[in-house]
A and B are shown apart, each in its own frame.
Chain A
Amino acid sequence: EAQVTQNPRYLITVTGKKLTVTCSQNMNHEYMSWYRQDPGLGLRQIYYSMNVEVTDKGDVPEGYKVSRKEKRNFPLILESPSPNQTSLYFCASSVQGGAEAFFGQGTRLTVV
């Protein structure tokens, strides 16, 4: 089954404690991206990757890092989380030039 898998689904952490949210896709897609969803703001892109070892900032990259060492994986790293990063995070993938994006189930992060 074609899917994008994120882990964990829920996470509560404390300010400053480094964390990683994993994202994996099994569709051999080149393009992957991370979004955060906040009430009244919709989804905003954090980072994206057009292929292995090629990443770039989206609209709200501050406080986040990503890496793309393998085509299927695109982890999101918060080196020092802060309460304003409390949000619902989605990973998505698509083929290069393809129209449809496939989304993971989401990770609800709370930073206290």
Chain B
Amino acid sequence: GDSVTQMEGPVTLSEEAFLTINCTYTATGYPSLFWYVQYPGEGLQLLLKATKADDKGSNKGFEATYRKETTSFHLEKGSVQVSDSAVYFCALRLLSRKLIFGTGTRLQVFP
């Protein structure tokens, strides 16, 4: 069935380090792909999205490229900040509008 796999955390980085959180998916058809972020005590917020192959989503210094050939949507940021500490969820959306989430990756950034 359709699914999303993302790397387990926590990911622990020093401020200004480079971030990569891996995400791969399995889906029939051509899903839209998303990264959501959950700050402590809050709901999920859309971070970025890509709706077709080779699209690059970007927001707040984060980027992810929809790679159909490797079925991946890895999240990257060149220089993380303490304020980026959160849980990051990769997700895909089917034509049915159902969102399928990965298990989440906790990012901890230390000064």
- Using CB atoms and an 8 Å cutoff, list the residues of chain A in contact with chain B: 4, 31, 33, 35, 40-45, 48, 50, 58, 90, 92, 94, 96-101, 103-106
- Contact present for A106 and B43 (CB under 8 Å): yes
B43 x A101 contact (CB < 8 A): no
Other-chain contact of B97, A31, A42, A43, A104 (Cβ < 8 Å): A31
Number of interface residues of B (CB under 8 A): 20
Do most interface residues of chain B lie in helix, strand or loop, or is the interface mixed? strand
A48, B98: Cβ atoms closer than 8 Å: yes
> Which residue on chain A has the smallest CB distance to residue B100?
A45
Q: Interface code B75-111, partner A: CB below 8 Å = 1, 0 otherwise?
A: 0000000000000010001000111011110000000
Roughly how many angstroms separate A42 CA and B90 CA in the complex, as a whole number? 10
For B49, give its contact among A33, A97, A99, A105 (CB under 8 Å).
A99
